[in-house]
Chain A
């Protein structure tokens, strides 16, 4: 993986005035991060942490009080920078009087002509090729999300900024969009994915930054943040008295003749399996649990 910086944010501050007296509320408090070429960078934070505000600053939709943002070495507001990026907003809204093809055609005219993708190919890629001539007011939420992704990829962007891209999609839609994101990575594109859904981030991101109350409290490679050490093992057994296994762990639940047992010492798992075998018991599942991003995230947010 190349180490070229695609997105560089230095000491970003943003505040908004609120209420009658115009009291200042600090939204971003000195954000600094770097996104390198070819990686999927997860921007993680609870609701209201400042994820969308950071994205709006990057895109020039709001203006930071202080700080610097560079995209491919260019100022983030320059045409050269914007020519290379694609943005998918959270809950996308579009011109409902246009058809999908008209809409993509309109947006393609904002780029240098030779640099835009074929509209029919894009509609096919996101799975709405049959709805090209349908007015957007007749689109479902899922279809709008797909169209939003199509407009994001219109200029074959080098950097793709996604704000909660999997929100509002059914499980099949989520998988399809996740696959598209992974395909982008394979093509050497850089993806900046903002989300509060930890599962999304954990499945596809290379590096993450955790944002809480407008501050990045941790960032790094996922494998560095999340320990691979086994915390405990969960085992579902039947045809054996769970009391015989209680010295190794704790019985969590019992349903029918099955028991769910939590074993804290991974070295004892083999011993337990032998006992079950001797007693003619049955093992239905054996799940070793490692630390998850959720554990890390909840810990960080609580600490903050």
Chain B
């Protein structure tokens, strides 16, 4: 167990190092002038100034030197001021957001986190419930309906599903608008009387006891959450279903039935808890799917999170910004996978034996 966790912990820095190397490699496709946005916001226009600039920031240094400066920043010899350096949290300057990339992430991350947090409960509960339902009714009508539902779910591209629900629930009925807040509520939220503790609107609204703001924020969240959940149910449903089918075939389930337990208890207390262990392994995959999903979902619903920032920046070819976001998300992913792996070792005794 300790060995297992230690090994995971040792691989992690290696992975993060690999991630930074790969991102640095992608940076090398950019011209030195484009890379200058890593260090400064104003890039000179004239050729002469550009040459001086490239030398000043070492944009034509050997690659290992550049990599080092990219990691820890570069000290200006004359002013001894340090610029850049992803380890210092300086990811460069975002042209599209008109902000330091890191400030943009700070501003956008709570919005994405709010969306993801709201989506997790429906995805997990719905997916597991459907999977168990499907397995318990193996091969009968309910199973078939659930499977059709699930195949449709993973056949629908996120943006097509998003546009369709927008068509019905926004254009058609006007119930759930796109965006993050309506204009009136935005004024309230940005006003002095409203304390922004987390900058997650639904949470802040509750902390400020403003039910009207909460309802407005929730109205804006429902469609993106619905989109993210429906498309991810398919995966959870499939894993839960097959693991539950496996579990239902075990001897202890037969024993439970033989000793006369009600079917409800056989499933709820014997089969399902064991079936859920493999389901926990895909938690990491789920985080990956959510990080991917928010890019498109936020773009379709015009929701101002990290995903939309990435899409906007990519369209305008603002590579520094997108790379900053990829780095940030990649590290989130590595760390969350580590947590998932360790949790899994606690959940499943068999894995500790490795």
Query: Does B bind A?
Result: no
Tell me the A residues contacting B by CB distance below 8 Å. Answer: none
Tell me the B residues contacting A by CB distance below 8 Å. Answer: none
